[in-house]
Amino acid sequence: MTRKPQGAAAQALKDLGAEVVAGDLDDAASLAAALKGAWGVYGVQNTWEAGVENEEVQGKRLVQVARETGIQHFVYASVASAHRKTGIPHFDNKSRIEDALRASGIPSRVIIRPAFFMDNLLGGWFKPALDTGMLAMGLKPATRLQMIAVPDIGKYAALAFTRAAEFNGREIDISGDELTMPQAAEFISKAAGRPIRHVQVPIEDVRKASEDYALMLEWFDAVGYNADIAGNQRTYGIAPTRFADWAGKQGW
């Protein structure tokens, strides 16, 4: 389901055999049309695009339309620790979407909660600084951050669909590695073939850009994610992608 069924990404999926349908999380009628005849739904929203309040509206709307159209199985991509009352706006809104899903009456549901995406480092918030030799993040040097490679999220989502009866009702925090930012910078240095160092951005500067993001970093420093990386591997048979391996495959 995509807002842009004629786009390059949608066409690439179509070439692989997927049926591409138009749908917009801001348009309930388009969701109902897209979900017609479907058995299951994978729900994910983008805080940084939609905003915290609208992300919650979008998530709850998708749950409601899924129930009304007779969806039997709903897999929701939340965020690690959403259920722990973190006080982080874009975590707490996902917790409320989780509540809506539990109360929806949809017969089968799975909640997957990924930690910080390793792939975030390839985006606009981090890549420009990395290009100049700095891993600029407002975390203390000793803070260990759990992170996950995006393809690993897909592996858990696939299990949640193909083993739906077994997974029904499960809520799983997932991560692939846990390391400090100086350690991450060292791995990126080796992969890129040039020196990268961690620079701790003052939290006051982060807050000027985003109070939400600043609160998340402060929570990382004080509390942090608690996904059971080794336990998940034993339970689900998915070998976690380690940060060094992920970094080695990127085009720094």
pLDDT of residue 170: 98
Residue type, 122: L
DSSP label at residue 22: B
pTM summary value: 0.95
pLDDT tens-digit map of 67-86: 999 999 999 999 999 999 99
Q: Do domains 1-114 and 117-148+177-226+235-252 have the same CATH topology?
A: no
Distance CA 3, CA 10 (A): 9
Q: Which tokens go with 2? A: 């995509």
DSSP secondary structure of 200-212: E--HHHHHHH-HH
Hey, which CATH number is domain 117-148+177-226+235-252, 3.90.25.10, 3.30.420.40, 3.40.50.300, 1.10.10.10? 3.90.25.10
b/e sequence 38-70, b meaning 16+ C-beta within 10 Å: bebbbbbbebeebbbebbbbbbbbbbebbbebe
Average pLDDT, the chain: 97
pLDDT of residue 69: 97
pLDDT of residue 77: 98
Domain 1-114 top-level CATH class: alpha beta
Contact between residue 2 and residue 20 where contact means Cβ atoms under 8 Å apart: yes
pLDDT of residue 72: 98
pLDDT tens-digit map of 110-140: 999 999 999 999 999 999 999 999 999 999 9
Contact between residue 155 and residue 238 where contact means Cβ atoms under 8 Å apart: yes
The residues facing 136 across adjacent strands are 199
The structure tokens 């720094």 sit at 252
User: 165: pLDDT confidence band, cut at 50, 70 and 90?
Assistant: very high
pLDDT of residue 76: 98
What lies within 8 Å, CB to CB, of 9 at 6+ separation is: 2
Distance CA 42, CA 74 (A): 6
- Every domain of the chain and the residues it spans: 1-114, 117-148+177-226+235-252
b/e sequence 117-154, b meaning 16+ C-beta within 10 Å: ebeebeeeeeeebbeeebbbbbbeeebebbbbbeebbe
- In order of 29, 32, 60, 93, 120, the CA distances from 26 in angstroms are 9, 12, 11, 17, 25
pLDDT of residue 121: 97
Closest CA to 99 of 42, 66, 59, 50: 59
pLDDT tens-digit map of 174-191: 999 999 999 999 999 999
pLDDT of residue 138: 97
Determine the average pLDDT of the residues in 143-157: 98
Determine the average pLDDT of the residues in 30-45: 96
Distance CA 249, CA 252 (A): 9
**For the chain, percent of residues with pLDDT exceeding 90:** 99
Helix, strand, coil fractions of the chain, as percent rounded to 5: 50, 15, 35
Determine the average pLDDT of the residues in 166-175: 98
User: 223: pLDDT confidence band, cut at 50, 70 and 90?
Assistant: very high
Compute the half-sphere exposure of residue 168: CA atoms within 13 Å on the CB side of its CA.
10
